[in-house]
Amino acid sequence: MKHLTTLIAALLLPIGAMSQSIHIDCDNGLIKACPEDVLTLTATVATADDEAEGATYLWNFDNGDHRTTRIPSVEYAYKTGGAYMLSVTMTQGGNTATDIAKVIIGKSPDFSGYSNDIDDSYSGVCLGEKITLTMPISDRTVKYGSRNYYYESIPQSLYGTSWSEKVRFKNFDGVSVSTGDISAVKLSFFHGNTANAQITLTAPDGKKAVLSPYNKALSDGREYSFANRTLMEYTFTPANTSEFSSLVGAPLNGDWKLEITSNDTENSCYVYGFEIVLNENLINSHLWQFDAKYDLRRAVWSGKGVSATSAGIADARPQEEGTTRYSFVISDDMGCMHDTSVFVNVELASFASVDDGGTAFIGDEINFNNRTSWAAETTWHFGDNSPREYTANAPHAYYERGKYEVVMETQSAKGCIDVDTQYVSVIPRPLEIKEVNIFTPNGDGVNDVFTFFSEDESFLKNGNLTQMPANIRSFRCKIYNSYGQTICKWESVTPSIFGWDGTIDNKGNRPCPPGTYYYDLIVNGKDGSTLKRSGTILLYREK
């Protein structure tokens, strides 16, 4: 959009000793626009013969941008809302004339008050869950203030040279410095010998105040550290520095320069910056500000699943997984539109189960863990006709080979429900029998029983009764002595899991003598394999 505004600067150039006169005719010296609007700014020049041939025009937009033209007009768009002082200076034949106009660019409201009703501990919200987007907006006062300070990003070093920087005041048109108008000058720097440094403040018209001359050491500084340097902050006031009086009568508007010179080449000087503090009453009496007003009745939230906006508040139901962008737009009393965006993440229900491609062994306990941050209630369906579980984390084991559909249904505190489904393949553990051929049934609790099963074996359960290893379908074993007499035998796996205690018939009342015993074993596994084995058992008893 191109916004046409004309700044008419009637620049009356001096003829000989005649004084110059400047007049602005642009809506009472004020320009209003929105950010990004293109302003057409024109300087109308009046000379003795109504001509301004060979003139140049320097436009200062008060935001760091400058532009020089040969014609008395320029197009410019301010990117950022706020208060500015636009100036144009025409130069012709060694004569100059300047005019200044105030510029108001629609200022964006403060969007930092945005909030929603999503718990901060959540990684996202449930898909389709209603959330409330709230953007409280209040009118804001935009104040124009000249920058009264200059500071370096890192201290600058001096070795027998000088340092100087400027600050510019613009909003004190026609004001001359009176006693007490400058309350203080603050300087942050370090010098090995401050008596070898001179500090001078120069007004826009050239008046100078030597705040600290050579051969006078500074005192009462405040020490602090900056950028790994030890600096001092010195404060000069009319009470401790008589030189302030030499600035009386100088124009306040314009460039004020602070300069430090050092005649000491041995001691380094580090300068961070300075600040000119003006009398608060002076500032308030020349304060330029405007009130930016916003209309919440004309504010709109937009995005997928958004309901109507009322007083900056709207409900939304995110419609897809991932990040959803919601935009808020509001207009101000200048007709400028301001917007911001917020982002809401949709977190789908998810759980962790088995690794290795979703495969587990029969009888192994699987830890099913709900990973959904917003879950308030969880229901598990394990797909094997077992009862449902209603805990966030549910251990579960399968005892038959197969592929099982596991469904986790989780519900948020607001009642939104989402599910995650995974498949678990359950297979038998490869058939293995523990290789043990010695045991010591002496009642010490260590190796007192001979068994073919490891302690970490997965066992089927029936209530509190252990039935059989999860990977075995059938089990037969006979233990006998060197005479071929049967000492103990098992026709099924159930009794065998308790092992042989070293007594005849495994009854505990007729201990077998120490020596070598033999076994014959036939095991059928749930993986379809059969294991046949014969071996020896060494029974050892202390004499």
Q: What is the pTM of this model?
A: 0.69
Instruction: Tell me how far apart the alpha carbons of residues 159 and 137 are, in angstroms, rounded to a whole number.
Output: 53
Nearest Cα residue to 352 out of 385, 375, 386 = 375
Burial 49-68 (b: 16+ CB within 10 A, else e): eeebeebebebbbbeeeeee
Please give the Cα distance from 207 to 214 (Å, whole number): 19
Residue 129, both tokens: 């869950």
pLDDT of residue 197: 92
pLDDT score, position 247: 97
The tokens 């629609």 sit on which residue? 106
Beta strands in 303-382 (DSSP E): 313-316, 322-331, 337-346, 351-352, 359-361, 365-370, 377-381
Walk along the chain (543 residues) and give the pLDDT tens digit of each residue.
Answer: 444 444 444 333 333 333 343 344 566 778 999 999 999 888 877 654 444 567 888 999 998 899 998 988 889 999 999 999 988 888 877 788 888 888 999 999 999 999 999 999 999 999 999 999 999 999 999 988 788 999 999 998 887 788 999 999 988 988 999 999 999 999 999 998 899 999 999 999 999 999 999 999 998 899 999 888 899 999 999 999 999 999 999 999 999 999 999 988 766 789 999 999 999 999 989 888 899 999 998 899 999 999 999 999 999 999 999 999 999 999 999 999 999 999 999 999 999 998 766 788 888 889 999 999 999 999 999 999 899 999 999 999 988 889 999 999 999 999 999 999 999 999 887 777 777 678 898 888 888 888 887 765 656 554 554 556 777 888 899 999 999 999 999 888 777 777 888 999 988 889 999 999 999 999 988 888 898 999 999 999 875
Q: What is the CA radius of gyration of the chain?
A: 45
H/E stretch holding 494: helix 493-496
Sign for the CA dihedral angle at 114, 118, 122, 123 comes to negative
Here the tokens at position 436 are 């043990």
Give the residue among 494, 493, 486 at the shortest CA–CA distance from 522.
Answer: 493
DSSP 3-state of 534: strand
Question: 251 - beta bridge partners?
Answer: 176
**DSSP labels for 129-179?**
--EEEE-----EEEEE----EEEEEEEEEESSSEEEEEEEE-S-TT-B--T
Domains of the chain and CATH, by start: 2-105 (2.60.40.10), 149-289 (2.60.120.260), 296-346 (no CATH), 351-427 (2.60.40.10), 438-539 (2.60.40)
Pair of tokens at residue 170: 């613009």
Residue partners of 326: CB distance under 8 A and separation at least 6? 133, 301, 302, 303, 306, 316, 341, 342, 343, 344
Question: Cβ neighbours of residue 166 under 8 Å, at least 6 residues apart?
Answer: 150, 255, 256, 257, 258
pLDDT at 461: 55
Measure the CA–CA gap between 264 and 208, rounded to whole angstroms.
23
CB of 233 closer than 8 Å to CB of 150:
no
Place of tokens 């917007």: 339
Both tokens of residue 466? Answer: 């252990």
State residue 242 phi and psi, 5-degree precision.
-70, -20
Q: Are strands 417-427 and 359-361 parallel, antiparallel or unpaired?
A: parallel
The pLDDT value recorded for residue 9 is 40
What pLDDT, on a 0 to 100 scale, did the predictor assign at position 16?
Answer: 33
DSSP code, position 423: E
Question: What is the model's pLDDT at position 15?
Answer: 31
Q: For strand 2-3 and strand 38-42, is the pairing parallel, antiparallel, or unpaired?
A: parallel
Residue in 279, 267, 260 with CA at minimum distance from that of residue 211: 260
DSSP annotation of 218 reads -
CB 68 within 8 A of CB 59: yes
CA angle at residue 383 from 382 to 387, to 5 degrees? 60
Q: Give the DSSP letter string of 279-308.
A: PHHHHHHT-EEEEE-B-GGG-EEESTTB--
The pLDDT of residue 11: 39
C-alpha closest to that of 9 among 28, 30, 24, 20: 24
Q: What percent of the chain has pLDDT above 90?
A: 60
CA distances from 421 to 125, 351, 358, 393 (A): 19, 9, 12, 15
Output phi, psi for 305, to 5 deg.
85, 20
Distances, alpha carbon 74 to alpha carbons 19, 69, 211, 331, in Å = 27, 7, 42, 28
Tell me how far apart the alpha carbons of residues 4 and 41 are, in angstroms, rounded to a whole number: 8
Q: Collect all residues with Cβ–Cβ distance below 8 Å to 353 and sequence separation of at least 6.
A: 366, 367, 368, 369, 406, 422, 424
**Is 200:271 a contact under the CB 8 Å cutoff?**
no
User: What CA–CA distance (Å, rounded) separates 233 from 16?
Assistant: 49
